[in-house]
Amino acid sequence: MHPSLPFLISAAVLASSATVASANQPEPGLWEITADMSVPSAPGFKQAPVAIQQCFSAADARDPSRILMGVSNPGAGNCRFSDKRESAGHTDFAVFCEGAFAIAGRGSVDFTPNSLRGDLNMNFVSGTSGDTQRVSAVSRITGKRIGSC
């Protein structure tokens, strides 16, 4: 599996949560985001959690694509969110990222100004040219604001 996938998924969940205009909106600042991933069809596979720290600006809250630009994943890009259902402190969404490592999925995230927790059920193609397979995976994401940038 592509090593940057947890970073992309973490950013995608944070980006989707950032679009809700409410008192529960994530606050700008330095965030630590942790993601793990499991593959239900391969019970023995569970990726160790991956953590990143990311500066989240007020402008990022208004434009989720700015968050995704900071994520290095050459195989998946131009991510789009659709079918968003938002309420105070919660967002459900669909996401699709194009490229050689295209990702499609549905997710949800619960958040406060200083924390978030979410799940993303996704499908992507794994393997090398001539030997690829479609994989379904589940990513669990947590995040917390740890200070100013």
Cβ–Cβ < 8 Å for 119, 108: yes
**Among candidate residues 114, 121, 59, 68, the one with its CA nearest the CA of residue 89:** 114
Q: How many CB atoms lie within 10 A of CB 83?
A: 9
Q: pLDDT tens for residues 129-141? A: 677 777 888 888 8
- Rounded Cα gap, residues 41 and 127, in angstroms: 15
Mean pLDDT, the chain, integer: 75
Is the confidence at residue 147, as pLDDT, over 60? yes
Cβ–Cβ < 8 Å for 79, 95: yes
Q: pLDDT tens for residues 91-137? A: 888 888 887 777 888 988 888 888 888 888 988 777 666 777 778 88
State how far the alpha carbon of 102 is from the alpha carbons of 58, 73, 122, in Å.
Answer: 28, 11, 10
Is the confidence at residue 5, as pLDDT, over 60? no
Cβ–Cβ < 8 Å for 53, 32: yes
Which of residues 6 and 136 earns the better pLDDT score? 136
State the pLDDT at residue 142: 87
DSSP code at position 128: E
Q: How many CB atoms lie within 10 A of CB 62?
A: 11
- Rounded Cα gap, residues 10 and 67, in angstroms: 10
